[in-house]
Structure 1
Amino acid sequence: MRRAAVVAGLALLPLATACGGDEDRAAGQAGPSRISAAPAAGVVAPARVEVIAELTGCKPEIRIEADELRQGVCHTPEVDYLITTFPEERYKQTWLDSAARYGGEYLVGSRWIVSAKEPEMPEEFRTRLGGTVQQLRGIGPVPSTS
């Protein structure tokens, strides 16, 4: 009986390992993944809102519990920010596509996004969480620099 369980587990191993790792390319991203590990996080696996919040020093207030995403808000003396996690990479990409109309900088990781109004926040949190800072352009006229 034990031997049959081991054989069945080994038979499923290739299926489990073949099902991940290329989500970025499936979402239209070319080239290698640019997600980086953060020393404080120690992992690059998808995380829960509460785990990300703890790494940034806050206790989140969960605002949205849905099948497509989970979102918490963090209030700190320095900055207020949103942490959004997704069960699948495709939901994260849909969220980013929708957010593109508003513009701004977002810290993007493996099935999570951290966003705030303060432009320095993404880079500051990147050292703790990993991920990449993505600049979304937005829709409408661009203010002149003159």
Structure 2
Amino acid sequence: MGSRHHLGLTRLGLMKTLPLCAAALALPLAAGCSAKSDAAGGGKAAKPASLAELAQQTDCSLTGKRKVKDLEQGNCKNATGRYVLLSFTTDSGMNAWLEEAKPWGGTYLVGARWVVVSQEQTLETLRKDLGGKIVQGDNHGPDHGSGHG
């Protein structure tokens, strides 16, 4: 009823970011039974990076680049696969985006103020270059709802 979203985002701000979220989640994504993360990276520490830096580190040319106040988004394709890169200006902005995105399902490589959205196999490969951890969104597969009281 109020004008503020439970995450502190205005409805107008949320409406501006919804198309970005929808584009990021449009890729066919595998998801686990519940939200979980894989912190066993054994390697590179994820550092904050701009959208251009993420694209350079993963050797892709950005297409469909979009920028709003708190985040940048772009689509990538390389020998590893297709993926969406998101770079955030703040940790709280990234955490709010993830909280809104995870119920939609999907698989995310999460770093320091950046997220990559793709299939898990692609993210595992990108993780070698970027660091970060793999996070699963909610499951929406054929068994969704079974066993959930």
Distance, in Å, in 2 between the alignment partners of 1:77 and 1:140 is 28
Determine the structure 2 residue equivalent to 1:89: 91
Distance, in Å, in 1 between the alignment partners of 2:98 and 2:46 is 19
Distance, in Å, in 1 between the alignment partners of 2:93 and 2:41 is 17
Letter in 2 for 1:61: T
Q: Over alpha carbons, which structure has the higher Rg? A: 1
1:133 positional shift: 0.5
Instruction: Confirm or deny that 1:109 pairs with 2:111.
Output: yes
1:51 positional shift: 0.9
> Contact 1:36–1:44 at 8 Å: present in 2 too?
no
SS in 1 for 2:70: coil
Q: Per the alignment, do residues 83 and 124 of structure 1 end up closer, same or farther by CA in structure 2, a change over 3 Å counting?
A: same
Q: Per the alignment, do residues 49 and 133 of structure 1 end up closer, same or farther by CA in structure 2, a change over 3 Å counting?
A: same
Letter in 1 for 2:53: V
Determine the structure 1 residue equivalent to 2:102: 100
Query: TM-score normalised to the size of structure 2?
Result: 0.62
Distance, in Å, in 1 between the alignment partners of 2:89 and 2:42 is 20
1:75 positional shift: 2.3
Deviation string 1:11-54 (CA, Å, 9 cap, x unpaired) is xxxxxxxxxxxxxxxxxxxxxx988762xxxx643101111111
Query: TM-score normalised to the size of structure 1?
Result: 0.63
Q: Between Structure 1 and Structure 2, how many residues are aligned? A: 107
2:62 pairs with 54, 57, 60, which one? Answer: 60
Deviation string 1:80-105 (CA, Å, 9 cap, x unpaired) is 11100000001101111111122121
Letter in 2 for 1:131: G
Determine the structure 2 residue equivalent to 1:71: 73
Letter in 1 for 2:62: P
- The one of the two structures with greater contact order (alpha-carbon pairs below 8 A, sep at least 6) is 2
Q: Per the alignment, do residues 100 and 87 of structure 1 end up closer, same or farther by CA in structure 2, a change over 3 Å counting?
A: same
Question: Taking every aligned residue pair, what percent have the same amino acid on both sides?
Answer: 30
> Contact 2:80–2:125 at 8 Å: present in 1 too?
no
**Unaligned segments of structure 1, at least 5 residues:** 1-32
Determine the structure 1 residue equivalent to 2:130: 129
SS in 1 for 2:104: coil
SS in 1 for 2:65: strand
1:139 positional shift: 5.6
**Unaligned segments of structure 2, at least 5 residues:** 1-38
SS in 2 for 1:58: coil
CA RMSD, Structure 1 to Structure 2 (Å): 2.6
Distance, in Å, in 1 between the alignment partners of 2:41 and 2:96 is 18
